[in-house]
Chains A and B, each alone.
Chain A
Amino acid sequence: MSQVVISPSSSEVPTKRQLTTKPRLSDRVFAGIVTSGALSSLVILGLIFFFLTFQGFSVLRSQGLRFITGSNWQVVQDSAGNIDPKATEFGIAAMLVGTILSALIAIIVALPISVLSALFLNFYAPPFVKKIMVAVVDLMAAFPSILFGLWGFFILMPSAEYWAKLLHHFLGFIPLFQVEPPIYTRSPFIAGLVLAIMVIPIITSISREVFGQTPPDRIQAAYALGATRWSMIRAVVLPYGRSGVIGGAMLGLGRAMGETVAVYTVLNVVYQINWHVLLGAGGNVASMILLKFGEAGPEEIKALMAAGLILFLLTLVVNSLADFIVRQSGGKGR
């Protein structure tokens, strides 16, 4: 052990430093930079809202509520090429219905599959199978949407048309499944199937996480009371994870409503409100924006901005609600 030798070189005594908990300048600068960086999400979301409103405001004001309730989309010009504000109509009701319809179909198809998959991954799969399957499902979440679009158009659509005909044949008496005239191609049903395949990974991974948080002592208790695996799941896992699964489904709903390219390839944009899911007419707001953007004049662009604003607000509300529900489920029962 060496001894520390303190050798006062001179008679000067260092002044005592003041003890303080006040952050130093460097730390304050650091905190400032990090905070302002973190607020970027607020700034960006705010700017999106501001600019879309700014661009779309004139259309929203001249169209009023008709923008949401009407289903006509026509730009009327007089002989001089000026736009006639009286006759020009922009209404996205049909597109909104199509958006909600195809997203709902997607959730109805995807939710059971996702919940079952999550149950399989958590409670049935051997560890190595689980590892591979989790990777596969996560990979699917990373697939670009254009891939789903092309696959949906070339591969799924011929089969899905056949399924639609079967559905119509056996369940045609239900008004929802009526098809008149008999056009089965590019229907909300097919778009919903493609969207379902896109949101399955999202709902599966959220359900898997929620189910994985089930307190193990309750699971063991259920087994100790003589439960089979299924009755354990029904009595413990499903009630515990219910709200988390609902939140995950709503997150998927938000994703499905904002999807553009995949829907564009498999759904006809037709300006009529269509609740018949097997009929080849519909469209969603996002794909309508893409479709109209190419040939749109300045006034129409403004209307598209307004449509984008509505879509933005719609997905924002759905996502926030989903986030809230998922967050609520996390802390329960601990």
Chain B
Amino acid sequence: MTDLTPVRPQKPWQSSPKERVISALILLAGVLTSYVIVALTPMGGKLAYAFVFFVAFTLYEFIFNFLTRGMALAKDSIARAVVASGIALAVAPIISILGTVFMRGYKGIHLSLFTKDMRLNSVSDPVDQGGLLHALTGTGILVLVALIISVPLGILTAVYMTEIKGRFVKPIKFLVQAMSGVPSIVAGLFILSAVVYPITKAYSGFVGALALSILMIPTIARTSEEVLLLIPNDLREAGVALGGTQWRTVAMVVVPAAKSGLVTAMILGIARIAGETAPILLLTGGGDAVNGNAFSGPMGSLPFYIWKAYAVGTPESVTRAWAGILVLLMIVLVLFISARILSERRTSK
């Protein structure tokens, strides 16, 4: 009788325990070398350690692979190390940024930050006085007004490109792309020249929101277009086959099906403009008191508050700036994560 003991499935591509020990040893040797070399030479600092470690590690890997497996794989190991260093360099700043903002920002965070404005305080006052209620309400109003303007235009653009598919699809795609590259300061100058000087002659939240809409429309349009493209054509055909006109099919079938995606588009649009500074500096006037009227009076906002506090440059005001940045970053983080969760849910359905 033949032997019927089951053969355990093997994964020959996985590294064996021996190989793992060797790679750990190479890593260790790299770390040791970096310590020795940094100690022996006048080089110093974290960067020197990282650099020497990288060179030493790559060299050891190369030698080891060359001796055991030959030139081609030795080259491959160098490429792997270089590629990994690329992603490390890309991610290092973001870690530094997040770390700095939290470390420096939390000192300026206190409860009255969310209940008081700055009408009685200057940014150089002790950090626990005053707050940024005016900035939060101002940013909220700016975002709201910008949403009211850009959501219809952005979604109509997306609907045109996915549903109507007229002869302007290509030029409009190009124009939306071009619009997303408009520098924010140019958007500010444009509103200044087209609205503020000829018509309103005064700074207000509304004109700031107009400039923000210019930056927001392309984000919403492009994200919405991607979302609408994901809606299966069967749904559209089913809608038309049931006797719906195109308008009813889009309004009752396609858009509801893409609802969460369109919300994601709005959230990404808000994240795009919430921290936009340059047009705000040109247009809103930046008041220190809570102003609920978008159409008159200077409107404070988070970026303006941060900018003002940074420009004054005293220790208290800089702490305020970091606290403001921390709040702004939290808002962006929450928006970004909620957009992720929404789109995850959509794709998993």
Residues of A within 8 A of B (CB): 23-24, 26-27, 29-31, 33-42, 44-45, 47-48, 51-52, 54-55, 112-117, 119-121, 124-125, 133, 135-140, 142-151, 153-155, 159, 197, 200, 204, 228-231, 233, 251, 254-255, 257-261, 265, 286, 289-290, 293, 304-305, 308, 311-312, 315-316, 318-320, 323
Contact = CB atoms under 8 A, between A and B. Distances in A.
A333 B197 CA distance: 52
18 contacts: A37-B152, A38-B168, A42-B171, A55-B197, A116-B85, A120-B86, A124-B84, A143-B329, A146-B277, A149-B277, A150-B306, A228-B75, A258-B181, A286-B278, A290-B278, A312-B186, A316-B178, A323-B178
A205 to B, nearest CB: 11
Contacts of A37: 152-153, 156-157, 159-160
B83 A144 contact: no
B183 A320 contact: no
B310 A150 contact: yes
- Give the size range of B's interface with the partner: 35 or more
B325 interface: yes
Contacts of A308: 185-186, 189-190
Given A140-B94, A304-B189, A316-B181, A112 B159 contact: no
The 7 closest A-B pairs by CB, nearest first: A144-B275, A116-B86, A258-B183, A37-B156, A38-B160, A230-B79, A319-B181
A36 B160 CA distance: 9
B182 A34 contact: no
Contacts of A290: 185, 278, 281-282
Contacts, number: 265
Contacts of B189: 52, 289, 304-305, 308
Nearest to B321: A150
B90 A231 contact: no
Nearest to B167: A35
Interface of B: 47, 72-73, 75-76, 78-80, 82-87, 89-91, 93-94, 96-97, 100-101, 104, 152-153, 156-157, 159-161, 163-164, 166, 168, 171-172, 174-187, 189-190, 192-194, 197, 214, 217-218, 221, 245-248, 250, 268, 271-272, 274-278, 281-282, 303, 306-307, 310, 318, 321-322, 325, 328-329, 332-333, 335-336, 340
Given A31-B164, A38-B161, A145-B277, A114 B90 contact: yes
Contacts of A258: 181-186
Given A41-B179, A229-B80, 13 more contacts: A30-B247, A41-B172, A42-B171, A116-B83, A117-B86, A140-B94, A142-B335, A143-B94, A144-B277, A146-B306, A230-B75, A230-B76, A305-B192
B79 A233 contact: yes
Nearest to A54: B193
B183 A143 contact: no
Contact of A320 (B72, B178, B214, B275): B178
Contact of A116 (B76, B87, B176): B87
Contacts of B275: 143-147
A78 to B, nearest CB: 25
A133 B87 contact: yes
A274 B174 CA distance: 35
A330 B325 CA distance: 38
A143 to B, nearest CB: 7
Contacts of B192: 305
Contacts of B272: 142
B76 A311 contact: no
A114 B333 CA distance: 23
Contact of B178 (A45, A54, A204): A45
Nearest to A146: B277
A231 B72 contact: yes
Contact of B90 (A137, A143, A149, A230): A137
Given A117-B87, A133-B87, A323-B178, A34 B277 contact: no
A312 B182 contact: yes
Nearest to B166: A35
A172 B185 CA distance: 36
B159 A34 contact: yes
Contacts of B161: 38
Nearest to B310: A150
Contacts of A147: 97, 101, 275, 325, 328-329
A22 to B, nearest CB: 12
B336 A142 contact: yes
Contacts of A231: 72, 75-76
Contacts of B171: 42
Nearest to A121: B87
Given A34-B159, A228-B75, A311 B183 contact: yes
B87 to A, nearest CB: 4
A116 B89 CA distance: 10
A41 B218 contact: yes
A120 B278 contact: no
Contacts of A230: 75-76, 78-80
A260 B179 CA distance: 17
A124 B80 contact: yes
B190 A51 contact: yes
Given A133-B91, A143-B332, A204-B90, A255 B181 contact: yes
B86 A315 contact: no
Contacts of A24: 245
A257 to B, nearest CB: 7
A124 B77 CA distance: 12
A125 B90 CA distance: 14
Given A40-B217, A41-B179, A146 B307 contact: yes
A27 B193 contact: no
Nearest to A200: B90
Contacts of B176: 41
Given A117-B87, A151-B97, A142 B75 contact: no
A38 B157 contact: yes
A229 B157 CA distance: 42
B149 to A, nearest CB: 10
B82 A257 contact: no
Nearest to A116: B86
Contacts of B178: 41, 45, 316, 319-320, 323
